[in-house]
Protein backbone atom coordinates (compact mmCIF):
# COMPACT_ATOMS: atom_id res chain seq x y z
CA UNK A 1 0.00 0.00 0.00
CA UNK A 2 2.81 2.40 0.97
CA UNK A 3 4.63 1.60 -2.29
CA UNK A 4 1.46 2.23 -4.28
CA UNK A 5 0.97 5.58 -2.52
CA UNK A 6 4.62 6.51 -3.18
CA UNK A 7 4.38 5.65 -6.89
CA UNK A 8 1.13 7.61 -7.24
CA UNK A 9 2.68 10.61 -5.51
CA UNK A 10 5.76 10.40 -7.72
CA UNK A 11 3.66 10.26 -10.89
CA UNK A 12 1.59 13.24 -9.70
CA UNK A 13 4.79 15.21 -9.03
CA UNK A 14 6.14 14.40 -12.49
CA UNK A 15 2.88 15.53 -14.09
CA UNK A 16 3.07 18.84 -12.22
CA UNK A 17 6.69 19.40 -13.25
CA UNK A 18 5.98 18.57 -16.88
CA UNK A 19 2.92 20.83 -16.97
CA UNK A 20 4.96 23.72 -15.55
CA UNK A 21 7.76 23.34 -18.09
CA UNK A 22 7.48 25.91 -20.92
CA UNK A 23 7.52 23.57 -23.90
CA UNK A 24 5.98 23.34 -27.35
CA UNK A 25 2.82 21.61 -26.18
CA UNK A 26 1.61 24.88 -24.64
CA UNK A 27 1.21 26.22 -28.17
CA UNK A 28 -0.59 23.13 -29.38
CA UNK A 29 2.46 21.84 -31.24
CA UNK A 30 2.40 18.20 -32.30
CA UNK A 31 6.05 17.57 -31.44
CA UNK A 32 8.81 19.15 -29.38
CA UNK A 33 10.88 19.31 -32.60
CA UNK A 34 8.65 22.24 -33.58
CA UNK A 35 10.56 24.30 -31.01
CA UNK A 36 14.06 22.87 -31.49
CA UNK A 37 16.71 23.24 -34.15
CA UNK A 38 17.94 25.81 -36.65
CA UNK A 39 16.03 27.23 -39.61
CA UNK A 40 16.88 29.84 -42.22
CA UNK A 41 13.83 31.72 -43.48
CA UNK A 42 13.78 34.19 -46.37
CA UNK A 43 11.52 37.17 -45.62
CA UNK A 44 10.42 40.02 -47.85
CA UNK A 45 12.16 43.12 -46.52
CA UNK A 46 8.87 45.03 -46.20
CA UNK A 47 7.97 42.79 -43.24
CA UNK A 48 11.29 43.02 -41.39
CA UNK A 49 10.09 44.86 -38.24
CA UNK A 50 7.26 42.35 -37.72
CA UNK A 51 9.56 39.36 -38.00
CA UNK A 52 12.30 40.80 -35.82
CA UNK A 53 9.76 40.94 -32.99
CA UNK A 54 8.23 37.56 -33.86
CA UNK A 55 11.55 35.72 -34.03
CA UNK A 56 12.71 37.26 -30.74
CA UNK A 57 9.49 36.13 -29.06
CA UNK A 58 9.62 32.64 -30.58
CA UNK A 59 13.23 32.09 -29.50
CA UNK A 60 12.43 33.40 -26.01
CA UNK A 61 9.61 30.86 -25.79
CA UNK A 62 11.82 28.07 -27.14
CA UNK A 63 15.48 28.46 -26.04
CA UNK A 64 16.57 25.54 -28.27
CA UNK A 65 15.23 27.25 -31.42
CA UNK A 66 17.42 29.30 -33.76
CA UNK A 67 15.57 31.15 -36.53
CA UNK A 68 17.93 32.84 -39.00
CA UNK A 69 16.12 35.47 -41.09
CA UNK A 70 17.41 36.73 -44.42
CA UNK A 71 15.55 39.85 -45.57
CA UNK A 72 15.44 40.04 -49.35
CA UNK A 73 13.42 41.27 -52.31
CA UNK A 74 10.39 39.14 -53.13
CA UNK A 75 11.60 38.12 -56.59
CA UNK A 76 14.91 36.80 -55.24
CA UNK A 77 13.10 34.90 -52.50
CA UNK A 78 10.85 33.09 -54.97
CA UNK A 79 13.81 32.23 -57.20
CA UNK A 80 15.72 30.77 -54.25
CA UNK A 81 12.70 28.74 -53.16
CA UNK A 82 12.33 27.16 -56.60
CA UNK A 83 16.08 26.56 -56.72
CA UNK A 84 15.67 24.54 -53.51
CA UNK A 85 17.96 26.86 -51.54
CA UNK A 86 15.45 27.39 -48.73
CA UNK A 87 12.45 25.61 -47.22
CA UNK A 88 10.37 28.47 -45.78
CA UNK A 89 9.65 31.95 -47.10
CA UNK A 90 7.44 34.97 -46.40
CA UNK A 91 6.19 37.04 -49.34
CA UNK A 92 3.18 39.21 -50.22
CA UNK A 93 1.27 36.57 -52.20
CA UNK A 94 0.54 32.89 -52.49
CA UNK A 95 2.02 30.94 -55.38
CA UNK A 96 -0.02 30.81 -58.56
CA UNK A 97 -1.57 27.54 -59.72
CA UNK A 98 1.08 27.36 -62.42
CA UNK A 99 3.86 27.74 -59.85
CA UNK A 100 2.29 25.07 -57.63
CA UNK A 101 1.98 22.73 -60.61
CA UNK A 102 5.68 23.19 -61.34
CA UNK A 103 6.52 22.20 -57.77
CA UNK A 104 4.19 19.19 -57.87
CA UNK A 105 6.03 17.92 -60.94
CA UNK A 106 9.15 17.90 -58.76
CA UNK A 107 7.24 16.00 -56.04
CA UNK A 108 7.48 19.02 -53.73
CA UNK A 109 4.66 19.42 -51.21
CA UNK A 110 4.02 23.08 -50.44
CA UNK A 111 1.85 24.48 -47.65
CA UNK A 112 0.72 28.10 -47.89
CA UNK A 113 -0.57 30.09 -44.91
CA UNK A 114 -1.86 33.64 -45.05
CA UNK A 115 -0.77 35.24 -41.78
CA UNK A 116 -1.75 38.91 -42.16
CA UNK A 117 -3.14 41.75 -44.25
CA UNK A 118 -0.88 44.73 -44.90
CA UNK A 119 -1.17 48.12 -46.56
CA UNK A 120 1.24 49.64 -49.06
CA UNK A 121 1.97 53.04 -47.55
CA UNK A 122 2.72 56.34 -49.28
CA UNK A 123 4.88 58.84 -47.39
CA UNK A 124 5.90 62.43 -48.12
CA UNK A 125 7.99 65.11 -46.49
CA UNK A 126 6.06 67.26 -43.95
CA UNK A 127 6.89 70.38 -46.00
CA UNK A 128 4.86 69.00 -48.89
CA UNK A 129 1.34 70.48 -48.64
CA UNK A 130 -0.17 67.54 -50.56
CA UNK A 131 -1.55 65.00 -48.10
CA UNK A 132 -4.13 62.99 -50.08
CA UNK A 133 -4.13 61.06 -53.34
CA UNK A 134 -6.48 58.90 -55.41
CA UNK A 135 -5.46 55.56 -56.87
CA UNK A 136 -6.03 56.95 -60.36
CA UNK A 137 -3.63 59.84 -59.74
CA UNK A 138 -1.09 57.47 -58.23
CA UNK A 139 -1.23 55.41 -61.42
CA UNK A 140 -0.69 58.55 -63.53
CA UNK A 141 2.29 59.52 -61.37
CA UNK A 142 3.84 56.06 -61.70
CA UNK A 143 3.40 56.18 -65.49
CA UNK A 144 4.96 59.65 -65.67
CA UNK A 145 1.71 61.29 -66.85
CA UNK A 146 1.38 63.42 -63.71
CA UNK A 147 4.83 64.59 -62.67
CA UNK A 148 4.38 67.85 -60.68
CA UNK A 149 3.35 68.39 -57.07
CA UNK A 150 0.55 71.03 -57.15
CA UNK A 151 1.61 72.61 -53.86
CA UNK A 152 5.37 72.53 -54.29
CA UNK A 153 5.42 73.15 -58.05
CA UNK A 154 8.32 70.70 -58.26
CA UNK A 155 8.83 67.35 -59.98
CA UNK A 156 7.53 64.27 -58.17
CA UNK A 157 10.28 61.76 -57.39
CA UNK A 158 8.83 58.33 -56.61
CA UNK A 159 11.16 56.12 -54.58
CA UNK A 160 10.76 52.50 -53.45
CA UNK A 161 13.01 49.93 -51.83
CA UNK A 162 14.33 47.42 -54.39
CA UNK A 163 13.69 46.11 -57.88
CA UNK A 164 11.54 42.95 -57.67
CA UNK A 165 10.54 43.74 -54.08
CA UNK A 166 6.95 43.38 -52.90
CA UNK A 167 6.53 47.17 -53.15
CA UNK A 168 7.92 47.21 -56.70
CA UNK A 169 5.68 44.31 -57.74
CA UNK A 170 2.64 46.03 -56.24
CA UNK A 171 3.26 49.22 -58.24
CA UNK A 172 3.95 47.22 -61.39
CA UNK A 173 0.70 45.27 -61.04
CA UNK A 174 -1.23 48.43 -60.14
CA UNK A 175 -0.44 50.00 -63.52
CA UNK A 176 -0.32 46.70 -65.45
CA UNK A 177 3.23 47.25 -66.67
CA UNK A 178 6.18 44.86 -66.62
CA UNK A 179 8.66 47.72 -66.19
CA UNK A 180 8.30 51.05 -64.41
CA UNK A 181 9.19 54.44 -65.95
CA UNK A 182 12.49 56.19 -65.28
CA UNK A 183 10.90 58.76 -62.94
CA UNK A 184 10.66 55.96 -60.35
CA UNK A 185 13.85 54.74 -58.75
CA UNK A 186 14.97 52.22 -56.15
CA UNK A 187 17.25 52.53 -53.16
CA UNK A 188 18.16 49.46 -51.08
CA UNK A 189 15.57 49.13 -48.32
CA UNK A 190 12.41 50.55 -46.77
CA UNK A 191 14.64 52.31 -44.24
CA UNK A 192 16.50 54.09 -47.05
CA UNK A 193 13.18 55.14 -48.62
CA UNK A 194 12.22 56.74 -45.31
CA UNK A 195 15.60 58.51 -45.04
CA UNK A 196 15.30 59.82 -48.60
CA UNK A 197 11.80 61.22 -48.06
CA UNK A 198 12.94 63.01 -44.89
CA UNK A 199 15.63 64.83 -46.87
CA UNK A 200 13.69 65.55 -50.08
CA UNK A 201 10.53 67.65 -50.19
CA UNK A 202 9.60 66.42 -53.67
CA UNK A 203 9.78 62.70 -52.83
CA UNK A 204 6.89 60.25 -52.77
CA UNK A 205 8.00 57.15 -50.86
CA UNK A 206 6.47 53.69 -51.14
CA UNK A 207 7.00 51.45 -48.10
CA UNK A 208 5.42 48.61 -46.14
CA UNK A 209 3.11 49.80 -43.37
CA UNK A 210 4.95 47.68 -40.82
CA UNK A 211 7.93 50.05 -40.91
CA UNK A 212 5.96 52.87 -39.27
CA UNK A 213 2.98 51.14 -37.64
CA UNK A 214 4.18 49.80 -34.26
CA UNK A 215 4.17 52.91 -32.07
CA UNK A 216 5.54 50.96 -29.08
CA UNK A 217 8.78 50.35 -30.99
CA UNK A 218 11.39 53.09 -30.39
CA UNK A 219 12.92 52.55 -33.85
CA UNK A 220 9.50 53.03 -35.42
CA UNK A 221 8.99 56.27 -33.51
CA UNK A 222 12.27 57.56 -34.93
CA UNK A 223 11.18 56.57 -38.44
CA UNK A 224 7.85 58.41 -38.12
CA UNK A 225 9.49 61.69 -37.11
CA UNK A 226 9.88 63.86 -40.19
CA UNK A 227 7.31 61.96 -42.27
CA UNK A 228 3.73 62.48 -43.38
CA UNK A 229 1.56 59.51 -44.31
CA UNK A 230 -0.75 60.20 -47.25
CA UNK A 231 -4.46 59.44 -47.23
CA UNK A 232 -5.62 57.36 -50.22
CA UNK A 233 -9.01 57.00 -51.93
CA UNK A 234 -10.15 54.62 -54.63
CA UNK A 235 -11.51 57.61 -56.58
CA UNK A 236 -12.49 61.26 -56.07
CA UNK A 237 -16.03 60.22 -55.15
CA UNK A 238 -14.82 57.84 -52.40
CA UNK A 239 -13.57 58.76 -48.90
CA UNK A 240 -9.85 59.05 -48.16
CA UNK A 241 -8.18 56.77 -45.62
CA UNK A 242 -4.80 56.39 -44.02
CA UNK A 243 -3.57 52.78 -43.70
CA UNK A 244 -5.03 51.94 -40.31
CA UNK A 245 -5.73 48.30 -39.48
CA UNK A 246 -9.51 48.81 -39.31
CA UNK A 247 -9.86 50.15 -42.86
CA UNK A 248 -7.38 47.61 -44.20
CA UNK A 249 -9.60 44.90 -42.70
CA UNK A 250 -12.78 46.41 -44.20
CA UNK A 251 -11.00 46.88 -47.56
CA UNK A 252 -11.73 50.62 -47.50
CA UNK A 253 -8.03 51.40 -47.72
CA UNK A 254 -7.39 50.66 -51.42
CA UNK A 255 -3.66 49.77 -51.34
CA UNK A 256 -4.18 46.50 -49.51
CA UNK A 257 -2.11 43.33 -49.79
CA UNK A 258 -1.54 40.03 -48.02
CA UNK A 259 1.30 38.43 -46.11
CA UNK A 260 1.95 34.73 -46.80
CA UNK A 261 4.27 32.10 -45.37
CA UNK A 262 5.06 29.23 -47.73
CA UNK A 263 6.71 26.11 -46.38
CA UNK A 264 7.97 22.85 -47.91
CA UNK A 265 9.74 21.52 -44.81
CA UNK A 266 8.65 18.38 -42.97
CA UNK A 267 5.63 18.75 -40.71
CA UNK A 268 7.51 17.87 -37.52
CA UNK A 269 10.44 20.28 -37.88
CA UNK A 270 11.44 23.74 -36.68
CA UNK A 271 10.36 25.40 -39.96
CA UNK A 272 6.80 24.20 -39.52
CA UNK A 273 6.96 25.08 -35.83
CA UNK A 274 7.67 28.73 -36.64
CA UNK A 275 4.87 28.86 -39.21
CA UNK A 276 2.50 27.40 -36.60
CA UNK A 277 3.66 30.07 -34.18
CA UNK A 278 2.90 32.85 -36.69
CA UNK A 279 -0.57 31.46 -37.47
CA UNK A 280 -1.26 30.73 -33.82
CA UNK A 281 -2.44 32.94 -30.98
CA UNK A 282 0.92 34.48 -30.06
CA UNK A 283 1.99 35.20 -33.62
CA UNK A 284 -1.38 36.74 -34.46
CA UNK A 285 -1.18 38.86 -31.30
CA UNK A 286 2.21 40.21 -32.42
CA UNK A 287 0.71 41.00 -35.82
CA UNK A 288 -2.15 42.88 -34.15
CA UNK A 289 0.29 44.81 -31.93
CA UNK A 290 2.23 45.76 -35.06
CA UNK A 291 -0.98 47.46 -36.33
CA UNK A 292 -1.40 45.00 -39.17
CA UNK A 293 -4.50 42.83 -39.59
CA UNK A 294 -4.20 39.21 -38.37
CA UNK A 295 -5.40 36.62 -40.85
CA UNK A 296 -6.53 33.88 -38.47
CA UNK A 297 -7.43 35.73 -35.27
CA UNK A 298 -10.82 37.46 -34.84
CA UNK A 299 -10.80 41.22 -35.47
CA UNK A 300 -12.80 43.55 -33.27
CA UNK A 301 -13.98 46.77 -34.92
CA UNK A 302 -14.97 49.72 -32.76
CA UNK A 303 -16.91 52.64 -34.22
CA UNK A 304 -16.65 55.95 -32.43
CA UNK A 305 -19.50 58.46 -32.70
CA UNK A 306 -18.18 62.00 -32.24
CA UNK A 307 -21.58 63.70 -32.35
How many independent structural domains does the chain possess?
Answer: 2
273 and 202, same structural domain?
A: no
Give residue 181's pLDDT: 78
Give residue 223's pLDDT: 64
**Of 153, 249, 169, 152, residue with least CA distance to 206:** 169
Q: Higher-confidence residue: 266 or 277?
A: 277
Q: Is residue 231 part of a domain?
A: yes
178 and 130, same structural domain?
A: yes
Helical segments of the chain, H only: 2-20, 48-61, 74-82, 97-105, 135-142, 166-175, 190-199, 210-213, 218-224, 245-249, 270-279, 281-289
Which domain, by its residues, includes 53?
A: 24-117+258-294
The CATH number of the domain where 142 resides is what? 3.40.190.10
Q: Is residue 196 part of a domain?
A: yes
131 and 61, same structural domain?
A: no
Give residue 268's pLDDT: 85
184 and 252, same structural domain?
A: yes
194 and 161, same structural domain?
A: yes
Three-class SS state of 70: strand
Q: Which of 232, 256, 280 delimits the end of a domain?
A: 256
242 and 227, same structural domain?
A: yes
Can you tell me the mean pLDDT for 173-178? 91
217 and 262, same structural domain?
A: no
209 and 84, same structural domain?
A: no
Give residue 217's pLDDT: 61
Give residue 208's pLDDT: 95
Give residue 177's pLDDT: 86
Amino acid sequence: MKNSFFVSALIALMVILISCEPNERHLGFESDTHGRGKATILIEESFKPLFETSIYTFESQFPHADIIPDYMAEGEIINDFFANKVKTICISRDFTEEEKATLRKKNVEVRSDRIAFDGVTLIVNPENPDSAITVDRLKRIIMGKDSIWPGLKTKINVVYDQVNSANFNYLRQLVGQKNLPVNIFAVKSNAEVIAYVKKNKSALGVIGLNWISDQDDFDVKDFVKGLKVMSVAESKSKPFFKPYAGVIYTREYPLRREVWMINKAKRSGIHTGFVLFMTGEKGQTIITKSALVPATAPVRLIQLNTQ
